Structure 1
Amino acid sequence: MGAVVGRAIRNFNLESRAEREISKMKPSPAPMHPSTQSLLRELMSRRPEFKGEIARKDDKLLSFLKDIYVESKDPVPSEQVKDAGRHQEPKEFRLHKGHRFDMMNIKNIPKGKISIVEALTLLNNNKLYPETWTAEKIAQEYHLELKDVNALLKYFVTFDVKVFTPEDKKAIQSK
């Protein structure tokens, strides 16, 4: 409903508004600098044929312009040409570790990647046994790059449940 009203207001009296805009005086060019005007007057007084040269249309140049026909085609990116000629190399896969979680039927995982279950497992192992599950061992075990494993261990943590005893809690005073 709002679009109908908006369109009606926008198109109201459109022809007369367009005609009024077209019939307005066109803006005049900006005035020249006084020094330029004096130089042009001096040049025109010395050589009056320049005034005719400025106003004259050159038929030879206009005929050249009429003969020009531009046909444009978008260039094909070189990457697409290279990709079409190159065969896809087969990816290396590895078996899924930790088959006890069968949440998804994952048959194999590309090397350099891990599943969610594996990520949680390795984070938990590193948290519980940091001296045995080091970044180097995790990178070797899961076929990952060391910098990726270091970033994973630095920026991601598993959930931690902490249970506070009643003695540790501060009592909330009721009003």
Structure 2
Amino acid sequence: MGARLTRAFRNLNLETRAEREISKTKPSTAPKHPSTRGLLREQLSQNPEIEEEVSRKDNKLLSLLRDVYVDSKDPVPSLPAKNVPPQQEPKEFRLPIGHHFDKNIMDVPKGKITVVEALTLLNNHKLKPGTWTAEKIAQEYCLELKDVNSLLKYFVTFEVKIIPPKDKKAISAK
């Protein structure tokens, strides 16, 4: 019901409104600044052919413009794409190491470790670097030796250091 009413108002008196718009005077050019009006009149009085040249239509240019036609298409690929998915190698998994089993983690891909395992191995290496060497960690967690060396070199576990105050007026800890 609402669409009919809207359509009726939209189409009401449509022809007279269209005629009114068509019969309106076309917009004129923007008004010139007073300082340029005098210069324009002076140039037109000296060179009257300029006004004729500006208002004349060039038929040669109009015909060239009509001949211009732009049609764009996507390039066709030379070889048809195959929809064959690449075959993945079967992954090897291992069980998480330690007594801190997470319910969500059932198996870990070889070459990867969990966050808890990373913290554990970093802490073990920090506490006992003689026993937990990079080779032993790589063997225990099924990692590559270069990855373990990088891990031990660039990552450290959180460590709290208390720096004693330099001045004597500081309150001593009890």
TM-score (norm 1): 0.48
TM-score (norm 2): 0.48
Structure with the largest fraction of helix: 1
